[in-house]
Amino acid sequence: MIDRLMALDPGGRGIEAFFVDGGAERAARALARGRRILITTGFAVGPGLPETDGPPGAASLGRALRRLGKHVTFVTDPVTVPPLEAALRSLGESAPIITFHATDASAAAVARRLLAEHAPTHLVAIERPGRTRAGEYLNARGESVRAWNAPLDALFIAPPRRLVTIGVGDGGNEVGMGNVLRRIARGGARARRIASVVTVSHLVVAGTSNWGAYGVVAELSRLDGSDLLHSAEEERRMVAACVQAGAVDGITRRREPTVDGLPWEAHVGMLELLRVAAKSRKTGGRAR
């Protein structure tokens, strides 16, 4: 049932063409074995305009992992630090955030140093731009967002052999979508142009990237036998806090408490359905 919920596509993105069955479950099982988790997020759609999609999902997943005894660190670029901090505060979390400063030329070296210093066992990207075959970073409209997003995907390119990588996305242009590049390419010229070539060990696709992260938390809840998902009120507070910290809806580009053009109620509905699905699977209900 968790897969079916995440495959919902109210924004009409066409994710059914590249949805990955069992992605959230495989990601959760991998993370359950992890010790040190490094999470990155943030997709700026313009100067000083980070999306509301991503930071809430990262904060929710980070809290769940911390409650499971994992050491969690976040990394993002300067523009996304304020909304990520706000989302974490909304959940009562105070995990460290590393600010990634690098140019295209220095990104590989900076990534190697960061991975060597923190030695993560698992690396997660939630709604993070991934480079295209041409080396660009594009939004869903095919416009370049390179000027506003650091080349953080360098962390996922040629990672250490034992590092497990996970990507969560919803549009085809995020870190991890290289796993389904051929399927995305069937969507036409624009899809081929924006598609990220960056691959991961486990890919999670959902109607919004926040939902993908929540789906992983739901699977972790099922595995652990406890409810690790945040509450409806915490969802409202997280998104509102992100907006107050400068985030915008990635579709409307307005500073309003919505995500990908969908109102708060839609996200709460998904959150509560995922909670029900996690419990029904745990108790042996016929949920899948």
Please give the pLDDT value at position 63: 98
Q: Residue 280's pLDDT is what? A: 82
| Opening angle at CA 62, ends 56 and 68, nearest 5 | 140
Q: Which fold has domain 2-282?
A: inorganic pyrophosphatase (n-terminal core) (3.90.1640)
> Do the strands 36-41 and 71-76 form a parallel or antiparallel pair, or are they unpaired?
parallel
Contacts of 14 (CB under 8 A, 6+ apart): 187, 191
Residue entry with tokens 């969507």: 187
Nearest CA to 2 out of 165, 229, 201, 236 is that of: 229
Sheet holding 36-41, edge to edge: 97-99, 71-76, 36-41, 122-126, 164-169, 202-205
| pTM, 2 dp | 0.96
Nearest CA to 53 among 163, 207, 222, 281?
207
The series of mean pLDDT values per 10 residues for the chain, 288 residues long, is: 94 93 98 98 97 98 98 98 98 94 96 97 98 96 96 96 97 98 95 97 98 98 97 97 98 96 96 95 41
Give the position of tokens 């300067």.
78
pLDDT computed for residue 285 by the predictor = 38
Q: What's the rounded Cα separation, in Å, for the pair 180 and 39? A: 21
* DSSP classification of residue 157: S
| CA-based nearest residue to 123, from 51, 59, 197, 73 | 73
Q: What is the pLDDT of residue 281?
A: 55
The pLDDT score that the predictor gives to residue 11 is 87
Give the pLDDT score at 95.
Answer: 86
Give the pLDDT confidence score for residue 284 in this predicted structure: 41
The DSSP call for residue 4 is H
